[in-house]
Amino acid sequence: MSAPAASPQRPASETVARDAEDSRQEAFSARHLFALILSTLVLGLLVGAVAGCLGKLLGVFEGLMLGYHETGGSPIAWNSGALRRFLSVSVGGLMVAIAWYFLRNKTTKVPSVAKAVKGARLPWWQTLVHDVLQIFYVGSGGSIGREVAPREAGSMLSQYWWEKVGLKIGLRRSDLPLFTAAGAGAGFAGVYISPLAGAFFGIEMLLGQTSFEVVGVCLGMSSISTLVGGMIMGTHPYYSVGHENFPVAGVIIALILAPLAGFVGGWFRWLTSRANKKMITDKRILFALPLTAVLTGAIAAFFPQIMGNGRALAQSAMNVPFEFLDKLSLSGWLAVLGLLGLAALKMAVTLLTIRAGASGGTLTPAISIGACMGAALGVIAQMVAPGFIPVWQCAMIGAVAVLASAQKAPLMATAMIIEISHLPVSLIAPFGIAVGGALAISRIVVEGCKAKTLK
């Protein structure tokens, strides 16, 4: 039996060339890793500083327009007076309508963060003006979320860093979507002091993928941004709630709320998508947005809870006292009707605001709607079985379920509610049940809406 033929020996020159190529590849990989780490660190610091400043700017505009500063302990502008609330939103709506008309029709348009992740460029000064206008309108009482502004600023800074510095120090062209998404998540984290929510926003909602680089950059940048934003704005809870552990009764509440929250969250997601697609950006914004602002101001004169990004309404729902709730009392049923009515008003005014041309987010409006639904169920539970479960815990379960289904982002929603409220880990079970059930129902609702639209 013959011995196997020996493999031909490679020439020395070919071996040297291959080894040199391997060394270059290893050096490039090390350089790329260094560029990822340095870029994550620098952008985390920059985005956190900008997000913190935008958060502080909201307080400046609230003081200027309404004469008060929103906090967890004092979320509603009661002391501003009905007339000032009306004038604040009305004047604010007129001012931003004029500014947005010129910004959108006379300069380079600002794309959404989702489009930026796919390659659209965010122009620097237009983006900053666009973000300040959003913060101003929320501060004057406009019914829209504020979280889009820091996300856009974070994405814009990341794009410019990648172009001006990143490519020179070792970033790849394929890194642009990653840093655009991570910058948006870091802006979110820096303004709400929520690192996990910011990281999940970039990973879950924008990129839809996971890898060592994706998780490392998103989580690292959001964490650094949170530290910087916390130094500027403080680290106090965004919502002031109790600290009791969630009882087993929370699971029962979650099972009841899940389908209801999924239905409402699915509808809210569908309607906000339609409102965004049909948003007025031409000359009609000069009439549509001021009229919507006047309507918002008229409602706010009597119900200031619907003003702003939704924090006031959500905190009101979480603070519903239950000591006065006798079994099936009239006051209890009036509280239930009031909570559901305010939730419906908040949803309607927010949708009108988006349709009329205002830019902004829907995260905190969704939280407020869900909190009202949960609190309403909590009030009923207290009337039927006093001491069954605190009302604020029901509000939190409703908030996370509607938020998750409205944003189609279970991880981001769960992390956000836990982080911004400093909640105990005992809520994981009821939160998971509520979020899972709500997502399933919301998908059915959205698919049904799509099917009807295609007919």
* Whole-number pLDDT of residue 23: 45
CATH number of 27-233: 1.10.3080.10
* Whole-number pLDDT of residue 75: 77
Q: What is the pTM of this model?
A: 0.90
What does 64-127 look like in DSSP terms, one character per residue? Answer: HHHS----SSS-S-GGG-HHHHHHHHHHHHHHHHHHHHHHHHHS-----HHHHHTT----HHHH
* Whole-number pLDDT of residue 379: 93
* Whole-number pLDDT of residue 17: 46
Q: What is the 3-state secondary structure (H, E, C) of 135-162?
A: HHHHHHCCCCECCHHHHHHHHHHHHHHH
- CA separation (Å) from 450 to 61, 277, 447, 454? 39, 14, 5, 6
Residue type, 138: V
Q: What fold does the segment set 249-454 form as a domain?
A: Clc chloride channel (1.10.3080)
* pLDDT tens, per residue, the chain with 455 residues: 444 444 444 444 454 444 444 444 444 588 899 999 999 999 999 999 999 999 999 999 999 999 888 776 777 877 889 999 999 999 999 999 999 999 999 999 999 999 999 999 999 999 999 999 999 999 999 999 999 999 999 999 999 999 999 999 999 999 999 999 999 999 999 999 999 999 999 999 888 888 889 999 999 999 999 999 999 999 999 999 988 888 888 899 999 999 999 999 999 999 999 999 999 999 999 999 999 999 999 999 999 999 999 999 999 999 887 655 666 677 788 899 999 999 999 999 999 999 999 999 999 999 999 999 999 999 999 888 888 899 999 999 999 999 999 999 999 999 999 999 999 888 889 999 999 999 999 999 988 887 777 66
In a 3-state reduction of DSSP, which class is residue 361? strand
User: Would you tell me how many other CB atoms lie within 10 Å of the CB of residue 229?
Assistant: 33
Per domain, the residue ranges of the chain are 27-233, 249-454
* Whole-number pLDDT of residue 305: 93
- CA separation (Å) from 383 to 167, 324, 340, 371? 63, 10, 17, 18
* Whole-number pLDDT of residue 326: 61
| Residues 205-219: b if buried by 16+ CB within 10 A, e if exposed | bbbeeeeebbebbbb
Decide if 27-233 and 249-454 have a common fold.
Answer: yes
- CA separation (Å) from 430 to 245, 252, 386, 453? 12, 8, 20, 34
Q: What angle do CA 215, 217, 221 make, to 5 degrees?
A: 120
Residue type, 432: G
